[in-house]
Every structure is written in structure tokens, then in C-alpha cells.
Amino acid sequence: MSSATLFKDDAAIASGEHFFEQVNRMFDKAARFTDHPQGLLNQIKICNSVYHMEFPVKRDDGSIEVVQAFRAEHSQHKSPTKGGIRYAINVSEDEVMALAALMTYKCAVVDVPFGGAKGGIKINRNEWSEAELERITRRYTFELTRKNFIGPGVDVPAPDYGTGPQEMAWILDTYNQLTSYPLDALACVTGKPVGQGGVRGRTEATGLGTFFGVREACNNAADMQKLGLETGIEGKTVVVQGLGNVGYHAAKYFEEGGAVLVGVSEIEGAIYDPNGLTLQKVLDHRKETGSILDYPGAQNLATGTDVLELPCDILIPAALEGVITRENAPRVQAKIVGEAANGPVTADADEILNERGVLVIPDVYLNAGGVTVSYFEWLRNLSHVRHGRMSKRFEAKSAERILSAVTKMTDTEMEQDEFSRLVADVAVGASEQDLVNSGLEDTMSYAYNEIREIARTHDTDMRTAAFVDAINKIAVSYLQMGIFP
């Protein structure tokens, strides 16, 4: 078990408050800035459906082990519901309910027309073989199908902590064997391999979305002035907790954007170098030695959570929930905390950070890159057309005509070979990944400025503003249904 997980569990015991209660505290704080009737607010807040299952799995040695699993559907104000599946030993009903609720609000913030859901299987995947994991995944999918908790228009899972494209491919194959409606079966799950209906750009989407969101914040001169920082990403020091899929890609894009990576953590511990770390060299070192520790020139930290208290401009918690609590929040030195993970900052810690003037960019907005690109994948599966396929050549020819017109209007002399190369560069048209990344960037930029304006209007923090935004949008959906006249 990681140190982050231990820290989260200790914090939960100390606070006596469950994760779902933490999310609802944040909801209630934001609800005070709205004028919706209490009955409607109660409906938005509750978790509509939770399926707790236990099923036997035959291990490779022939023994039988019973596995616990969950699927929570928080809100059906939009259909289908959407949310990842995690494989972790600390998975619980409370956790999936909380994560499903966050997913509901997240989708509303970035205007993705899904309700929120979340699933989990209570295992340590490192203790199971690939064949055993396949049996677990397929049985889980069977249970979801039998209870109508999966389907292109019902509930669409995706990868989360401990899962990836392989598990999604197993889910698709199993669902496809069980469904009576195979035409749109590809859309029953997202995060699939590209060859099985996945979309290019999904793997890095959450990390890239995190980068886009923090970059949008850093480009606001007034906000940066309040923090005593220069505008822009370049030159800012960054610490990333967790180098899984999300943390790795966030660190990669910050590094490419000119930021200086000074600290990282993984399960085995954390390292710090105020002069800067090179991400790929850190990963190469871990591959060679089995650990990021003892990286040349870097300082080893006592525990993985110590990385949260390092001096830096931007802190990116990209592991599990509840790692910044009321105990360590006063020691956080970052000026910007970007929540790449779900719920890394507890409600108490959030208040402390806000009082200290730290800009907390909330998970309910910042890690929405994954579901945004999952939406693009879902659309692709339902339309049965790759993004850009019908328009790519038209766009390429248009670009070529524009380039030719510009050279004539400016009387530009250009060697034929140079002109041909330039035309070839321009005329290739946008790839699917270009279109996906463009859509993600626009989504994250628009949503940030929308919630920032709400925060300014109500003189509140960004998390509360994001919840206000989500509550208002969800309330409109319920009112349009005629449920609350």
C-alpha cells in the first residue's frame, strides 16, 4: 500500500468524516450562493443508485476467492452516466459515491452531457496475474450488464486508478457478447485501445487538461500579481505527487511548457532538487533501479507525502484523495495547488489554503480532461466516423489555396521546392489527435474563465464557484424535465 493511501486513511479516521460527506460539505457551501429550493438541492446532492456486489473468482492455482466490487450512479439528469473504474484495495462504497458525485459536477462544469458515475473493485492488482485480472474484469462486466449498470445510453465506464486500455477492451468484448444491440456496443466504454474504437489523445487527456487549466490560471496577470508571480508557465517551479498516467503527462507538459520540475513522488518515496529534475531521466533511473530514490543530485524525502510541503510555485497532487488535510495544509508552500487527482484536498484543508491565499484550482474542473476526451470517443463510437475523416482533405485543400493566394498578394518569391514543402506541411490537415487536443484546450479555457467570473461575482474561491456553476446547470436540467415546477 502506498504512503499516500495510508495518509488518506489516517486522515479520514482523524476527521471522522467520510469522503462523500466532504464532497457534500463543499456542495452545501456553494448552494448558499444559489436560490434553488431545498428539495431540488437535495435531489442534486444524493447518489441515485449504488450496486454493491460480491462474486467468486477462480485463481490460477485453482483456489476460489470472493471479490467485492461497486458501481455508483450519482445522477441521471443527463444520460448516460459516466465514470471510471478503479482497482484498489481501499475501494469502498463511500468512495465510489463521492467520486460519482464529483463526476456529476465535473461534467456540468465543462458542459459534457453526462451524469456522474464511478466504479471500483477492491483488489491490489499487483497480487493478481493478468489472467486473473481478465476473469475479474469480465465477471464485473457481466454483473453490471445483468443489473443494467452499463450500456452506451445507460452508464459508460472508463479507466481510473489501477486500470487502463486493456481492462476497457475486456469490458467491451464481454458487453458485446451479452448485448442485444451490438451496433453501438463500442460506445459502452471509453479509454479503449485505438484499434478497438478508442480515440487518439485519450491516454494523456487528464494530464494535458491539467496543464491547460493551470496555464489558463497563470496567464491571468491580475491573479498572478496577487500571488506575487509572473504571468505564464515558463520558469515556474512545479512539484508533482504521483507519476502514474495523470501525473506523468502533467509533468511532461509542464516541462515542455518551460516550467521547472523540482520534486516528484511515487509509491516508494519522493525526491527533490531545487535546480530541477529531468522527467525522462528520472523515469530511466526508476526503470534501471526500481525506484526514483537516489536519483543523482536529488535529495531523498522521508515519505512520499513530504513532497506536498516542498517550496514551489505549483503543486500538482496527482495520486489519491485526501492527501492534503488540516494537519499538513499549513505547511504547504505552493502558491498554486492544481488538483489533478480526485479530492486530494479535504474540506478543512481547502479552507486553510484559501485563508492563506493559495490559489486552489479544484478537481471538479481541473481533471475534467479525461471525461472531456471520453466524450469525444463516445461521440466517435456512436457516429462510426473517425474525427476529421470527412473534413480533413477539404481543410487541406483550403489551406493550400490560402497559402497560394498569400504568396501572390505579397508578391513573395519562393523556390519551388520550398513552396512544395510548405504546402505539404500545411496541407496535411488536422489529425484526429490535433482535433481532440484542440477541443480539450478550448473546453478547459472556456470553463476556467466561466468559473473565475462566478468566483469574482460572488467573491468566493474557485472550488465554490465551480460547484455553483455545476449546481445551476444541473438545476436547469431538472427544471426542464418538469420534475420541480
Q: What proportion of the chain, given as a percentage, has pLDDT over 90?
A: 79
CB 104 within 8 A of CB 75: yes
Whether 5 shows a pLDDT value over 50: the answer reads no
| pLDDT above 60: residue 1 | no
Write down the pLDDT at residue 10.
Answer: 38
What's the whole-number mean pLDDT along residues 437-462?
96
Is the confidence at residue 31, as pLDDT, over 70?
yes
pLDDT band at 399 (very low <50, low <70, confident <90, very high): low
> What are the extents of the domains in the chain?
49-196, 205-369
323 with 10: CB under 8 angstroms?
Answer: no
pLDDT of residue 292: 95
Q: Give the pLDDT score at 6.
A: 31
CA 13 to chain centre: 26
pLDDT of residue 34: 97
> How confident is the model at residue 479, as a pLDDT?
85
Cell numbers 426542464: residue = 480
Between the CA of residue 195 and those of 169, 192, 263, 410, what are the distances in Å? 10, 8, 36, 45
Q: What pLDDT score was predicted for residue 15?
A: 41
pLDDT, greater one: 6 or 183: 183
Give the pLDDT band (50/70/90) at residue 442: very high
Is the pLDDT confidence value at 408 over 90? no
- Read off φ and ψ for residue 71, nearest 5 degrees: -145, 125
pLDDT of residue 304: 78
Active site residues: 118
The lowest-confidence range among 179-183, 209-213, 293-297, 398-402 is 398-402
Given the C-alpha cell 439528469, which residue does it identify?
A: 77
Question: What integer pLDDT is reported at residue 11 of this predicted model?
Answer: 40
pLDDT of residue 414: 64
Percentage of the chain beyond pLDDT 70 is: 89
- Higher-pLDDT residue of 62 and 412 is 62
Q: What is the mean pLDDT of residues 351-358?
A: 96
Condensed to tens digits (0 to 9), the pLDDT of residues 372-388 reads: 999 999 999 999 887 76
The most confident of the ranges 180-184, 224-228, 342-346, 385-389 is: 224-228
Mind listing the pLDDT tens digit for each residue in 37-56?
A: 999 999 999 999 999 999 99
* pLDDT value at 485 more than 60: no
- SS3 for the chain is CCHHHHHHHHHHHHHCCCHHHHHHHHHHHHHCCCCCCHHHHHHHHCCCEEEEEEEEEECCCCCEEEEEEEEEECCCCCCCEEEEEEECCCCCHHHHHHHHHHHHHHHHHCCCCCEEEEEEECCCHHHCCHHHHHHHHHHHHHHHHHCCCCECCCEEEEECCCCCHHHHHHHHHHHHHHCCCHHHHHHHCCCCCHHHCCCCCCCCHHHHHHHHHHHHHHCCHHHHHHHCCCCCCCCCEEEEECCCHHHHHHHHHHHHCCCEEEEEEECCEEEECCCCCCHHHHHHHHHHHCCCCCCCCCEEECCHHHHHHCCCCEEEECCCCCCECCCCHHHCCCCEEECCCCCCECHHHHHHHHHCCCEEECHHHHCCHHHHHHHHHHHHHHHCCCCCCCCHHHHHHHHHHHHHHHHHHCCCCCCHHHHHHHHHHHHCCCCHHHHHHHHHHHHHHHHHHHHHHHHHHHCCCHHHHHHHHHHHHHHHHHHHHCCCC
Give 432 or 315, the one with higher predicted confidence. Answer: 315
CATH superfamily, domain at 49-196:
Leucine Dehydrogenase, chain A, domain 1 (3.40.50.10860)
Domains 49-196 and 205-369 share a fold: yes
So what's the pLDDT on residue 367? 93
pLDDT band of 9, cuts 50, 70, 90: very low
- How sure is the predictor about 389, in pLDDT bands with cuts at 50, 70 and 90? low
pLDDT at 17: 62
Question: Is the confidence at residue 296, as pLDDT, over 70?
Answer: yes
Mean pLDDT of the chain: 90
pLDDT at 473: 97
Average of per-residue pLDDT across 424-450: 85
Average pLDDT over residues 242-265: 96
205-369: CATH topology: Rossmann fold (3.40.50)
Per-residue pLDDT at 117 exceeds 60: yes
Q: Does the pLDDT of residue 13 top 60, yes or no?
A: no
Handedness of CA 379, 384, 386, 387 (dihedral sign): negative
